[in-house]
Structure 1
Amino acid sequence: MTTPFTDCFFDLDGTLTDSAPGILNGVQLALAHFGLRPPRENLTFFIGPPLLESFAVYFPREPEKARTALCIYREYYRERGMLENSVYDGISDLLAALTAAGVRAHLATAKPEPFARTIVEHFGLLPYLAVLAGAELDGPRHDKTDVLRYALGLAALPPGARPLMIGDRHHDVEGAHAVGLPCAGVLYGYGSREELTGAGADYVCDSVEALRCLLLPA
């Protein structure tokens, strides 16, 4: 079967897994340390972007507090939060089908790479991934553009490759376009259609099944 794409670079949070419970639990704990208790529904912007940037929204002129909040979050996330998580229905089957069709699947996430590896190992997704690329815990590689450049280097795409980025937030679209990749936005994650189309998503899929139809047309 001829497939439209040879390589698929997947975001993690909101694309492969529903990670909101653990992320939001950790964010609430970190903000409560400073006496801040915003409604949980106001914190979904933390899912996807680099967390230090998101904490800076609450501490715009106090970078030390933002860094402390990140440390509190990471301690919780490392101990409990990363596995307060679940794989979206149909994702494991999609990754298996891509492998069977000869399409390479890669992970490209702004989540710190050690956390990302633990998650995909725990949920049995690692065998389907040719490349696992994440952010550094404390280093310059932290946003989606940097992670995708790193992932492309690891993937070493051959001439004639037809790659695609797949994610649920505008950062995925913008990062993909910054490195010359088209991007499919998915609506079953945490971003809206307006967010994804506004960022210039090349495709928009409203379900895992719609994504499968894009990647593996009949």
Structure 2
Amino acid sequence: MIALFDLDGTLTDPKAGITRSVQYALERLGRPVPDADELTWMIGPPLVAGFTELLGGADEVPDAVRFYRERYGDVGLYENEVYAGIPALLQDLREKDVRLFVATSKLRVFARRILDHFDLSRFFSEIYGSEPDNRNADKRELIRYILDEERFDPARAVMIGDRKHDVIGARANGVAAIGITWGYGSRQELSEAGAACLVDDPRALEGPLLTLTASTPPRAAEA
């Protein structure tokens, strides 16, 4: 049995670090700076896609990403909090011989530093994320890459995440997806994307996860 976990909004609450780093990037660009609550939609989507939408075009995106990472890499990644119940959940799954992986659109190097900082890396067989050149930022590409690297059966795997990108990426690769509602995606967003089920608390995740990894997920969505 295989479980792929998103990071932001699933294992940890990154609101402060991400929104403050977005604000920093906008300030450096001389752009208006919204309140943090107006920027939570940036949590989850690939960073380049988020800034492209936020800035209304691509011209300033490379600078925005550079400024964002300038602050996030030093300070922002630690402005973060592990959701209650996550360490116990991961421990229980490991004891039941579930192989755990992280699948995040965040830079892989940042994901490793966050998980090391919060003593969560020990639960995971491997941590996968995007690269500085934007490879694997799209969850469809990332999960395909993980399947190629690890060579496990998609029918024995499930993706757990809080945004539609997690669900879409999983289904595109024949992997079932559980939508979790303690993060930043709405129930409607997750359901419309095709989540097999929704879970409202980490303590309630183990049952559906074990059930889905023992069954066959939907076929991969057509391109």
- When normalised by structure 2's length, the TM-score is 0.89
Superposed CA deviations along residues 164-184 of structure 1, whole A, max 9, x for unmatched, are: 000000000000001110100
State the partner residue of 1:91: 86
Q: Which 5+ residue runs of structure 1 have no aligned equivalent?
A: 1-5
- Rate the CA distance shift 1:40–1:110 in 2: closer, same or farther, 3 A: same
Superposed CA deviations along residues 34-92 of structure 1, whole A, max 9, x for unmatched, are: 2311232111111011111111123233x231111111000100000001111111111
Q: Which 5+ residue runs of structure 2 have no aligned equivalent?
A: 212-223
Q: Provide the rounded CA distance (Å) in 1 between the counterparts of 2:103 and 2:61.
A: 25
Q: Could you say what secondary structure the match of 1:64 adopts?
A: coil
- Identify the match of residue 195 of structure 1 among 189, 198, 212: 189
Superposed CA deviations along residues 148-191 of structure 1, whole A, max 9, x for unmatched, are: 1122223221x696110000000000000011101000000111
Q: Does 1:35 align with 2:31?
A: yes
State the partner residue of 2:12: 17
Q: Provide the rounded CA distance (Å) in 2 between the counterparts of 1:210 and 1:11.
A: 17
State the partner residue of 2:214: none
Q: Does 1:137 align with 2:129?
A: no
* Counterpart contact for 2:14–2:81, Cα < 8 Å: yes
* Counterpart contact for 2:154–2:173, Cα < 8 Å: no
Superposed CA deviations along residues 5-39 of structure 1, whole A, max 9, x for unmatched, are: x1000000011111111001100111122231123
Aligned-residue CA RMSD (Å):
1.5
- Identify the match of residue 185 of structure 1 among 173, 179, 196: 179
- Identify the match of residue 64 of structure 2 among 52, 64, 69: 69
Deviates more, 1:133-142 or 1:170-179: 133-142
* Counterpart contact for 1:26–1:73, Cα < 8 Å: yes
Amino acid at match of 1:71: R
State the partner residue of 2:156: 162
Amino acid at match of 2:179: G
Amino acid at match of 2:102: L
State the partner residue of 2:141: 146
